[in-house]
Amino acid sequence: ACSTVGGPAGQSAAPDTGGGEGPKVAFVSQVEGVPYFSAFKEGAEKTAQSLGMSYTQAGPSTADATEQLRIFNSLVQQGYDAIAVSPLDPRSMNPAIAAARRKGIVVITSDADAPDSERQVFVQQASDAALGATVMDEIAKAMGGTGEYGIVSGAADTQTFNSWVAEARKRQESTYPALELVGGVRYTTDTAQALKEAQDLMTAYPDLKAIIAVPSTAVPGVAQAVQNAGKAGKVAVSGFGSPRTARTYVESGVMTSTVLWDVPNLGVLTVWAMKQLLDGKEFAAKNTVPGLKDPVEYSAATTTLVMGPPMVFTKANIAQYDY
Amino acid sequence: MTTGALPRRSLRDRVSDRRVFLAVLVVALGALMSLLSPYFLEVGNLLAMTQYGAVIGLLALGQSLVILGGRGGIDLSVGSALSLSGIVMGLLAQNLGLSPWLAALVTVAFGALLGSVNGFMVARLGLPPLIVTLSTLFLYGALAQVLTHGGQLGGFGREGFAALGQSAILGVPAQVLLVLAPMFALAIWAQNRTALGRRLHQIGTSDRAAALAGIDVNKLRFRLYCASGALAALGAVVTNAWLLTARPSAGTGMELQAITIAVLGGIHIFGGRGHLSGVLLALAVVVVLSWGLQLAQVGNSVQTGILGLVLVGAALLNNLIGRRASG
Amino acid sequence: MTTTTVPSAFAPSARMLVLLRNALLPILLVAEVIFFTVAAPGFLSAANLANVVINSADLALLAAGVTLVVLLAGIDVSVGPMLGVVAWVGATLFVAGMPPPLVVVISVLLGGALGAINGGLVVGGRISPIITTLGTAAIFKTVLFILWDSTDVFAGPVVPALGPARAGGVPLVGLVVLAVFGVLAYVLRHRVFGRRLFAIGNDAEGARLLGVPVGRTSFAAYVLVGALVGVAALIYVGRVGVVQATAGNELTLPAIAAVVVGGTSILGGEGGVLRTLGGLAFIALLQNGVVLMGVPPLWNGVLVGAAVALAVAFDVLTRRTLDKRIGAKK
Amino acid sequence: MTTRSDVRPILSVSGLSKSFGATAAVTDVGFTLGAGERLAVLGENGAGKSTLIKIVAGVYPPDGGEMVLDGAPHRPASPGTALAGGVSVVYQEPSFFPRLSVLENLYVGREPRDRAGQVDWRRMRGRGEELFRRLDVPVELLTRRMDALSLAEQQLALIARAVDVEAKVLILDEPTSILTDAEVRRLFLIVQRLSEAGVGVLYITHRFEELEHVADRFIVLKDGRLAGDLPASEADHDRILEMMSGRPVNAAISRSPARPGRVMLETSGLTVPGAVSDVDLTVRGGEVVGLYGLVGAGRTELALTVFGVLRPSAGTMRVDGEPHTPRGPRDAMARGIAYLPEDRKTLGIFPGMDTLSNITAVKLPELLGRLGVIRRAEERELATSWIDRLRIKAPSPAFPVTGLSGGHQQKTLFARQLATEPKILILDEPTRGIDVATKTDIQQRLVEVARDGTAVLVVSSDLPELLAVSDRVYVMREGRMAAELSGDDLTEDAVLRATMGVHR
Ligand SMILES: Nc1ncnc2c1ncn2[C@@H]1O[C@H](COP(=O)(O)OP(=O)(O)OP(=O)(O)O)[C@@H](O)[C@H]1O
Ligand SMILES: Nc1ncnc2c1ncn2[C@@H]1O[C@H](COP(=O)(O)OP(=O)(O)OP(=O)(O)O)[C@@H](O)[C@H]1O
Ligand SMILES: [Mg+2]
Ligand SMILES: [Mg+2]
């Protein structure tokens, strides 16, 4: 039942340093086991197999930068050929990435970046700006363009959440001046706390018309709070939850939509990128990736592969995605 | 120094000593881990592994001192104190542009200050340690967030400061050789050889008797909390040198780990009993176990449970051996 | 035999002082309510108070359980993760279509069984409660992680009384909580089992000398904690609607906080569940009021931490002064 | 006094043995206790008295031997079953529930219940009041927390609890060691009444003068073995002493006349709210001054004030002529004052630690090298010399102090204070629980210490002891100084009169 022990059966139990069956690649997630990263793994594993590589995925049990570093180092120790990482804390990962590169290991970032590091490429799901703007658009649409809204975010020091929130607010200030953020950004660490914060927001601001739930832990909490308060339809909810997390609420009408990207495809792209680098190949401005419909753009200036625009999941399409 | 005519400790005492047990456990776990992963026994790897024990080891040391001091002593705020001290060091190094070395010094003093708040409320006002440090757990953690608005701070990569967290001397990580090891050596020496150590045990076993024996119980207990705070801050210094980032949640959850290591090491939760050398061995157990499991690709969440099993199993076995031997 | 007491001319009667001593926590609570009523709009509304009750109901039951073992001079830091495990099982069975009453029974039994593991280790294995429950807390966390297997379980309230439902504005879970606390308060004061908890918490060895079945009683207390966790788990499911990998973990520290803020001695043998209820109310209303006051989110922890410390300082120091005047020299 | 030969045995034991590791605490002991009989158990410290009664009470399972209680085999699996079988005990080291009220303490494990099985608080309260009235203990105490009571009051409550149980056998392990005459006499009455009602009483004591009041018969233990079993009428002190120690012992101390020197300690108008009012006292170097009074008279508080634990609200103190305003025990110690507390369990020993560090606790600062390092060889030498001198029965200096018998724990504390060679030595119930031979030793040592120039103040409830060692005696009554007696005025009768407030 342990999702972190990857690779074909029998291989991870007794890893052979001689390396018989092609390169070993790994991905270090931000936390282990959450549906989001499980979906990532699904795409990644499939691709690794088809490219003749073995794939492992691991992550800390809570979003803990030190733990993540430990996991990264243990993979280096085990002689992996390529490692992709979604750093919780870019800076602390830098030295470890440099050390791994010195050992000749291919290191890339995916899902989140460490811009100042020696990583070879960053595989980006969608730009922060696009994500922030999309969720703001969704909320504004549901609110009819005016009124008060709140934001329930995750841990205060998670870079990704903070930049999404910043981008969403930028979008609101530029495009929807009639909307007003009330109560500041509420930071939470888990679903139950998100529930309480959302409930208190609704009490403190009776005219509240919408809430953005940022991390996937907050999504069910905020939705549940709205449901408990009997305000489904009166207070709109959107956020960055995986379809499976949000599905119950989207289908029951508590959530208007949830914004994300095609997560399995991100896994596909990540593994493909590692393979390219292992083979010593360069990225083109537009790359055709087996398994992905659209070509993937590469920006040489920022050494970034961008998968494409965000996806919006609504009642109409959410049932098709199982992650 | 002669040892006098003290009869040698009986075999029974030796076997039921928690430290002997832990030492055996370390070796046994090491053997098990080397079976699980061929990478475990590489020498460089064994030494490098110790770096993961440095920060939590410092916290466990402070925690042990406070628990040894008795009267329900405990410091739940160590994790938050680490976070807040780390942030303060970041503010000094990044915003004020102070040399990281100097900032580190100030930070340790600041940590002692944080500890002194606990110490004041516990030792002078006589409030229950659990609740005092629970409040400061919230307080310090939240202050760390407030000071950074949730963000992160840097500025530690200058003047060779990073070497403290990232270099190795003869294969031993600098943070272990230069910080953890001296601290534990000092503490173990003080516990066994000095009046301070004796007094620590005396206030821990009966603080009223200690007061009548002329020990300034409040002052000593106050200092224990200061020491715990300073050690937490030292942990922050090491973290900053190691990760080069100060995060307001850096120490979250570490208090329970620190307590776990202290009690696994045989520190009696009601005070006055236990050896700091046992804590060091417990730290070794935890580090060996989690690094070995990591190399064997056992997931992080499963590691938590295995550590729990070891904690309970060790206590159970230890009791069993002790009971068998004594009757 | 003569005892020397020097009566002071204008001292209030000892009875009054004792009364005052026990009324300190209620006084603090009233002060808190008045403060937030003035400072935080919407605080004193029925809807808000009902929210507070609904959001703290599961925590209240955990705190009640923890009180029992703290009275024993023990502790249980595994209640949070234990709740997670039971919540997952309960929610899963419920979603699978098991009849609600059966789900309730199974949850309580499962909780009791998990509590029995703690009790067995503490009593039979003679491991100190803190080590035992630190260990089982870690184990329960892993068990939940494995059960959960990357799949959130979504479930509504198993029975209405264990969900956010209200009757005439009164939250039903509130009644459940009151009933549980009422029964426990009665048991602690009027049943032999309760008296035994106090005796053991004061001096387990002394209690054994007087024929108190120390092992059996302690074991029963840990089982009872588990059973309370079983009920709390279903309330959690009804409130949060989803069980995730870390469900319940966050509840351990607040549960212990409620007990100590309430004034139950961590040394054991002194205190009670009603005090815990007071402590819980103090903390829950504080957290709620601070948000409603519009305090910037990051400052919440600062205020809550400071307020708890001040409240406890006030409570303990005043009680001590009163104790001196009542003549409880130490 | 009842006769014994014709009564049926209520408890008979034979061949009892018990060892702790290498220590044989009790070896092959047998005796018979008749219904209504009062049997005293005598023996040196560490002779195995407490261990013997703990076997009877079900605390320790015996390694071997048989017990018969009221005709049925007695093999208690726990103290609870022994209690239920009718064995009620007051232990030597008082064990009670500090954070419960006295009333609750009385009824732990046997709360009166109503028909619904609920604890019947009203009946409990009624029974408690009746019990205390019967025993002449103030009823107000019932509502106080147990830890707010003085040691003696606690002891009275524990005795009350034990005698209230409908027991077949009542065991009292040194119940009088801190009680004064009045309480002791009341206790004897209770014991007598119970024995008349057919209860067998086992009574452990080191006070020979009590024997004729509490015992019909006595047994003597020596090194865990039975050394004698005689009727009380044949109690001859010298002979008992010889049975106990196996050698002739000199029970009297020799006291050279005092040559009092400078006034070392002086209080005037000293007042501590609720305990001590307007007390004047002087102690000179070279003399032993006794302090007597009923329980609660304020003697302990007076001593604690001099030692800096309690703060006076009025009055002055002088040490060696200089004003003395201690902010804590450290200040008092710096002035050369040493204090032996009466409550060894909570104020004396460091329970988790070895005998060695218990002895050197106060002396430690003088045993330090650079950086506060303990000079261990020297420390061990010091501890060993005191272990020898006071004949403390410890297998090694590293033996845990809680493994020592009660009397030897007391000696350990005594050594702790004597080792500091103080200028002023204050002793609160110094020979509590110490056997007769050693007691004489200690008393002799006290007098010698004083003759060497130390000012010695002894608080004791043991009047014969006080008269034996003191050059002068103060008597306190309800916090005030009631009398100062010396020379020919210092008689037992005069002290008792002052204690009771009866004037000639
Ligand atoms: N729990 C224990 N562990 C080890 N040794 C013990 C223990 N209890 C008693 N002993 C030893 O057994 C012997 C008898 O002790 P016991 O307490 O029965 O003596 P006692 O006759 O009651 O003495 P006292 O008059 O001083 O109370 C002593 O040598 C003591 O050190
Ligand atoms: N600050 C303190 N620290 C330690 N013990 C204290 C303190 N204050 C009071 N006590 C305790 O209070 C008790 C006072 O006892 P009590 O009122 O019976 O005085 P007393 O006249 O000395 O009694 P006795 O006649 O038994 O010696 C002692 O048992 C002592 O241990
Ligand atoms: Mg004894
Ligand atoms: Mg006294």
For residue C253, name the pLDDT band (cuts at 50, 70, 90).
confident
Alpha carbon C202 to its chain's center: 20
User: CA A221, CA A153: separation in Å to the nearest integer?
Assistant: 11
Residue nearest to atom 24 of ligand 1 (CA): D45
Classify D28 in phi/psi space as left (phi over 0), alpha (psi -120 to 50) or beta.
left
* Residue B249 in tokens: 């949640």
How many inter-chain contacts (A to B, CB under 8 Å) are there?
Answer: 100
Residue A210 near residue A237, CB atoms below 8 Å: yes
Q: Is A22 left (phi over 0), alpha (psi -120 to 50) or beta?
A: left
Summarize the confidence of residues D484-504 as an average pLDDT: 83
- The CATH number that applies at residue D447 is 3.40.50.300
Which residue from C250, B79, B37 is spatially nearest to A64, judged by alpha carbons?
B79
In a domain, D343, yes or no: no
User: Do D362 and D291 fall into the same domain?
Assistant: no
Is the CB of B195 less than 8 angstroms away from the CB of D368?
A: yes
Tell whether ligand 1 has an atom less than 6 A from the beta carbon of residue D302: no
Strands C153-154 and C242-243: antiparallel
List own/partner pairs for D470-475 with CB under 8 A and 24 or more apart. Answer: D470/D288, D470/D289, D470/D290, D471/D258, D471/D260, D471/D287, D471/D288, D471/D289, D472/D287, D472/D289, D472/D290, D473/D289, D473/D290, D473/D291, D473/D292, D474/D281, D474/D289, D474/D290, D474/D291, D474/D292, D475/D291, D475/D292, D475/D293, D475/D499
The answer to whether residue D345 is domain-embedded is no
In a domain, C30, yes or no: no
Residue A64, pLDDT score = 81
Res A17 pLDDT > 50: no
DSSP-assigned letters across all residues of D431-477: TTT--HHHHHHHHHHHHHHHHTT-EEEEE-S-HHHHHHH-SEEEEEE
Q: Is a pLDDT exceeding 80 seen at residue B96?
A: yes
Cross-chain residue pair C152–A1, CB shorter than 8 Å: no
Domain containing D397: what range?
Answer: 350-421
**pLDDT confidence of residue A2:** 33
Question: What is the C-alpha separation between B286 and B307, in angstroms, rounded?
Answer: 7
- The pLDDT, as a whole number, for residue D409 is 92
Highest mean pLDDT pick, B126-130, B166-170, C61-65, D200-204: C61-65
In a domain, D27, yes or no: yes
Specify the pLDDT at position B205: 93
Q: How far is CA C62 from CA B186, C77, C83, C123, C137, in A?
A: 42, 10, 9, 21, 14
Supply the mean pLDDT for chain A: 85
What's the token pair of residue A280? Answer: 């010593």
Whether the per-residue pLDDT at A6 is higher than 60: the answer is no
One-letter amino acid of D381: E
User: DSSP states of B76-108 as a string?
Assistant: TTHHHHHHHHHHHHHIIIIIS---HHHHHHHHH
B229 pLDDT exceeds 90?
A: yes
Q: Quote the mean pLDDT of chain C.
A: 88
What DSSP assignment string belongs to A6-24? -SSTTTTTS--TT--SS-E
Contact between A155 and A63 (Cβ < 8 Å)? yes
Q: How many structural domains are present in chain C?
A: 1
**What's residue C80's pLDDT?**
95
pLDDT band, residue C326 (cuts 50/70/90)? low
Asked if A89 lies within 8 A of B152 by C-beta distance, the reply is yes
**Are residue D371 and residue D452 in the same domain, yes or no?**
no
**Residue in C closest to A322 by C-alpha:** C151
Q: What separation in Å is there between the alpha carbon of A63 and the centre of ligand 1?
A: 57
Nearest C-alpha to atom 14 of ligand 2 is from which residue?
D150
The CATH code of the domain that includes C120 is 1.10.3470.10
Looking at chain D, the whole-number percentage of residues with pLDDT higher than 70 is 97
Whether D237 and D362 map to the same domain: the answer is no
- C54, C149, C166, C246: best mutation site toward chain A, by most A Cβ within 10 Å? C246
What ipTM does this complex have?
A: 0.84
Q: Do D416 and D267 share a structural domain?
A: no
Give tens-digit pLDDT for A56-88: 999 988 778 888 988 999 999 888 999 999 998
Residue C328 lies in a domain: no
Q: Mean pLDDT throughout C159-176? A: 88
Does the beta carbon of D47 lie inside 6 Å of ligand 1? yes
* Residue A1: pLDDT over 80: no
CB contact under 8 A, C298 and A33: no
Element (H, E) at A304: strand A304-306
Please check whether residue B280 is in contact with residue B60, taking contact to mean a CB–CB distance below 8 angstroms: no
Same domain as D48, residue D186: yes
Question: Is D480 among the domain residues?
Answer: yes
Single out the residue of C200, C129, C143, C80 nearest to residue B263, CA to CA: C129
Residue identified by tokens 């009045």 is: D182
Residue C325 is predicted with a pLDDT of 67
Mean pLDDT for B288-301 is 85
For residue C321, tell me if it sits in a domain: no
Q: What is the arithmetic mean of pLDDT over A215-222? A: 89
Q: CB C305 to CB B309 under 8 A?
A: no
Q: Note residues around ion ligand 4 (Cβ under 5 angstroms).
A: D 300, 342
Which amino acid residue places its CA nearest to atom 25 of ligand 1? D45
Task: List chain B residues with CB under 8 Å of D305.
Answer: none
Residue C327: its pLDDT value, please?
52
Determine the average pLDDT of the residues in B132-153.
88
Q: Which ligand is nearest to the CA of D221?
A: 1
D199 and D189 in one domain?
A: yes
* Residue C67 structure tokens: 């009180």
- 121-150 of B, contacting A, C-beta below 8 A: 145, 148-150
Alpha-carbon radius of gyration of chain A: 20
Q: Which residues contact D249 (CB under 8 A, 6 or more apart)?
A: D238, D241, D242, D436, D437, D440
Is A10 a residue whose pLDDT tops 60? no
Q: Would you say residue D356 has pLDDT above 80?
A: yes
pLDDT category at D242 given cuts 50, 70, 90 is confident
Best of C202, C205, C275 to substitute, by most chain D Cβ atoms within 10 angstroms, is C202
pLDDT of residue D359: 95
Q: Is the pLDDT of residue D112 over 50?
A: yes
Q: Nearest residue on chain C to D180, judged by CA atoms? A: C1
Q: H helices within chain C, ranges in order? A: 14-39, 46-71, 79-95, 100-119, 129-148, 172-190, 192-202, 204-209, 214-240, 252-262, 273-292, 300-326
pTM of the predicted model as reported, rounded to 2 decimal places: 0.86
Q: pLDDT value at position A5?
A: 30
**DSSP 8-state symbol, C297:** G
Give the domain range for residue C182. Answer: 47-309
Strands D314-319 and D263-272: antiparallel
- Taking the Cβ of residue A33 and every Cβ of chain C, the question of whether any pair is shorter than 8 Å is answered with yes
| D453/D260 Cα distance (integer angstroms) | 8
Residues 6+ apart with CB under 8 A from C200: C72, C73, C207, C212, C214, C217, C218, C268, C269
Say how many Å lie between the CA of residue D450 and the centre of ligand 4. Answer: 22
Contact D/C (≥3 CB pairs under 8 Å): yes
Whether D341 maps to a domain, the answer reads no
Taking 50 as the threshold, does the pLDDT of residue C328 lie above it?
no
Tell me, yes or no, whether D3 lies in a domain. Answer: no
The pLDDT of D38-46, averaged and rounded, is 90
Span B276-305, average pLDDT:
89
Q: In the prediction, which pLDDT does C294 show?
A: 82
| Residue D301 CA, ligand 4 centroid: distance in Å | 7
End position of a domain, from candidates D228, D245, D262: D245
Number of domains in chain D: 3
Q: How far is CA D26 from the centre of its chain?
A: 22
Whether ligand 1 lies within 6 angstroms of the CB of D45 is answered as: yes
> H/E element holding B184?
helix B181-193
Residue C17 lies in a domain: no
**Which ligand is nearest the CA of D499, by number?**
2
Q: How many angstroms separate the CA atoms of D328 and A284, rounded? A: 82
Interface residue A111 vs chain C (CB under 8 A): no
Segments making up each domain of chain B, as ranges: 40-252+267-274
Give the pLDDT score at A114: 87
Smallest Cβ–Cβ distance between C213 and the set D80, D118, D147 belongs to: D80
Same domain, D375 and D408: yes
Question: D392: closest CA among D407, D381, D377, D403?
Answer: D407
Chains A, D in contact: 3+ Cβ pairs under 8 A? no
Residue C94 domain-assigned? Answer: yes
Q: Least CB-CB distance to C51: which of A203, A206, A224?
A: A203
Please report the atom of ligand 2 found closest to the CA of residue C3. 17
Instruction: Tell me which of D245, D272, D300 is where a domain ends.
Output: D245
Q: What is the spatial distance between Cα C224 and Cα B162, in angstroms, rounded to a whole number?
A: 52
Which of D55, D100, D176 should we substitute to test contact with C (largest number of C Cβ atoms within 10 Å)?
A: D100
For residue range D286-321, list pLDDT tens digits in order. Answer: 999 999 988 778 999 999 999 999 999 999 999 999
Task: Select from C6, C199, C205 the Cβ nearest to the Cβ of D274.
Answer: C6
Same domain? D484 vs D408: no
B326–D contact, CB cutoff 8 A: yes
- Is residue C97, in this structure, part of any structural domain at all? yes
Q: What is the CA A240 to chain-centroid distance, rounded?
A: 9
Whole-angstrom Cα distance, residue A2 to residue B158?
41
User: For the segment D319-347, what is each residue's pLDDT rounded down to a tens digit?
Assistant: 999 999 999 999 999 999 999 998 888 88
Task: State the amino acid at position D405 in one-letter form.
Answer: S
User: Which of D217, D245, D273 is the C-terminal boundary of a domain?
Assistant: D245
pLDDT tens per residue across span C80-129: 999 999 999 999 999 999 999 999 999 999 999 999 999 999 999 988 89
